[in-house]
Chains A and B, each alone.
Chain A
C-alpha cells in the first residue's frame, strides 16, 4: 500500500483545517481552501491588544486560530461584554459584505493568532471564482441571519456572538 502513497495529496495545512471548520468556510472544498490560503493574512496579537474599535470602518473578517478574544460594546456607564471568541470561531464578518462601522471593540484576552481576510480581496477572488464567492457570501449572510434572529428573539447579547 505504501507504494501508492505518493498519489495521495499531502495532508491539509492545520491552519486550513481550522478555517474549514468555521461557519463561513464550512462548505469550501479542499481545493478551494488551498486557494483561500493565498488571501489569508496571519496576525499575532498580545494579551490586551485591540484588534479593532467599535465604530471603526470594518475591512475584513478574522478567524481565530489560537488564544481568546473578548468583544465589548459601549454601555451607559461602562463597557459591556457581549461575548468571547474562541479558536475556530470568527468575528467581524459583516465587513466582508460592506464597509460599515464595527459593532463592537474586540480585544485579545491572551496572546492569540488569527487569520484575516480582507473584503476587496474576497471581491477579487469572487471575480475569478464566482462559485466560491457565492458560497462565502451565502455563508456570511446565513451567519448574520442567525445572529439577527437571536437578537430579535431576545437571546442575551453575550450569546449572540457564539
Chain B
C-alpha cells in the first residue's frame, strides 16, 4: 500500500520550529493588536469590508465597467445607504437605547428574581447546591452589577461610542484605499522580494489572500444563515405566547449569530443570552426555555455539519483541541479581540509558516540567492582590482 504523496507546504509544517513560530506569532500579534487597538480595530474592519465589497466590484467589472468606475459606483451607493440609514435607522436606535436605559433596573430585578427562583428550586432538590449557596451568591452578583455598571448603560455606551468614533471614521477611508490601491501596493511589496524567492512569495501572498477571502466571506454567509435559522426558530417558538415580534426575533438571532463568531464558546454565550431573554418574557414557561436550548443545540449541529462546510469550509484544518486552546489563550491575552482574532490569525500564520518553511528550507533557492549576491558583489568590485 503506497501512501498518498503530500504537498511540500504540508511537509514544511512538520518542522517544530515552524509550528512553534506559528503559535508564537499568533499570540504575539494578539497582544500587539490589543495594545494598538485604536488602530488595529479600523484596520481589521477595513480588511473585512474590503473582502466583502470586492466581489461586488468584480461583478461590476464583469458587466464591462472599468475598475475605477466600479469603485465610484460603489462609493455613490454606499454614501446613499449611509445617508438613508442616518435619517431613519439611527434615530430609532437612539430611541430604543433610551428606552432600554429606563427599563434596565426593572429588567435586572426581574432577571434576578427569575434566576434566584430557579436556583432555589435546584437547591431544594440538590443538597449539594444548597451547601454551595448558589441562589444567594448569584443574587449578590446580579445586585452588584445592577447597582454598579448596569444602570449607567446608556452613559457608558455613549462614552464608548465617543471614544471609538475617530477610530471608526478611519474604516471607510482605509477601505477606499484598500479597494483602489491593493494591486499597486502588492506590486510595491513584491519589488522588495529577491529574485530567487519571487515566485514562491507570490504564491504565499496568493494563498494568504485566498484564505482570508474565504474566511471573511464564509463568516458573513455563516452569520446570515445563523441569523435566519435562529431568528425564525425563536419567532416560531414564541408564536403561541406572542413573545417576540418577527423583527425582535431576527435581531436576537443576529446578536447570537455574531457571538457564534467565537468558535465553540460563542454559541454557548449566545444561547445563554437567548435563554435570559425568553426567561424575562415568559418566566413561567419552562417548555419555551427547553425549546430555546434545543434550538441552539440544533443550530450548533447545523453549523458543524452543514453551514460551516458550505460557507467557511474547513480551510483551517485545525484540531478542535488546538482551536479551543488558541481561543482561550487569545481571550486571556487580548480579551474580546483575542477571542475573535485567534482563529483568523492562526490561519494566516499557518500559511505564512508553511510558505516560510518551503522557501527557507529549500537549499536550491537559498543557493540561487547567494549566487545573486556574489554576482552583485563581483559587479560592484569589477574595476577595483581586489
Contacts and interface: CB of A to CB of B under 8 A. Distances in A.
Interface stretch (A50-58, A83-91, A137-145, A154-162): A50-58
Nearest to B364: A53
Contacts of B184: 38
B54 to A, nearest CB: 10
A43 B195 contact: yes
B134 interface: no
Contacts of B190: 41
A41 B187 contact: yes
Contacts of A129: 61-62
Interface stretch (B83-91, B249-257, B369-377): B369-377
A56 B195 CA distance: 14
Interface in A10-68: 31, 35, 38-39, 41-53, 56, 58-60
B58 interface: yes
A49 B195 contact: yes
Given A47-B375, A49-B372, A60 B67 contact: no
A117 to B, nearest CB: 10
B199 interface: yes
Interface residues of B, number: 25
Nearest to B61: A128
B202 interface: yes
A127 B57 CA distance: 11
B198 interface: yes
Contacts of A52: 199
A59 to B, nearest CB: 4
A116 B371 contact: no
Contacts, number: 62
B368 interface: yes
Interface in B20-61: 58, 61
Given A39-B183, A51-B195, A127-B58, A46 B379 contact: yes
Nearest to B190: A41
B198 A43 contact: yes
Most-contacted residue by chain A among B62, B66, B202 (CB, 10 A) = B202
Contacts of A128: 58, 61-62, 67
A155 to B, nearest CB: 29
Interface in A78-121: 116, 118, 120-121
A50 B368 contact: yes
A116 B375 contact: no
A47 B379 CA distance: 10
Contacts of B61: 128-129
Contacts of B199: 52, 58-60, 118
Contact of B203 (A46, A47, A59): A59
B206 interface: yes
Given A38-B183, A38-B187, A48 B67 contact: no
A35 B58 contact: no
A130 B200 CA distance: 26
A44 B61 CA distance: 32
Contacts of A116: 198
A29 B43 CA distance: 37
Contact of B202 (A50, A53, A118): A118
A41 B190 CA distance: 8
A49 B203 contact: no
Contacts of A46: 372, 375-376, 379
A47 B66 CA distance: 40
Nearest to B203: A59
A41 B186 CA distance: 10
25 contacts: A35-B67, A39-B183, A41-B202, A43-B198, A44-B195, A46-B379, A47-B375, A48-B371, A48-B375, A49-B372, A52-B199, A53-B368, A56-B364, A58-B199, A59-B202, A60-B202, A118-B199, A118-B202, A118-B206, A120-B202, A120-B206, A121-B202, A121-B206, A128-B61, A129-B61
Given A35-B67, A46-B372, 7 more contacts: A38-B187, A43-B195, A45-B195, A118-B206, A121-B206, A128-B58, A130-B62
User: Which 6 A-B residue pairings sit nearest by Cβ, starting from the closest?
Assistant: A120-B206, A128-B61, A38-B183, A59-B199, A46-B375, A128-B58
Interface of A: 31, 35, 38-39, 41-53, 56, 58-60, 116, 118, 120-121, 127-130
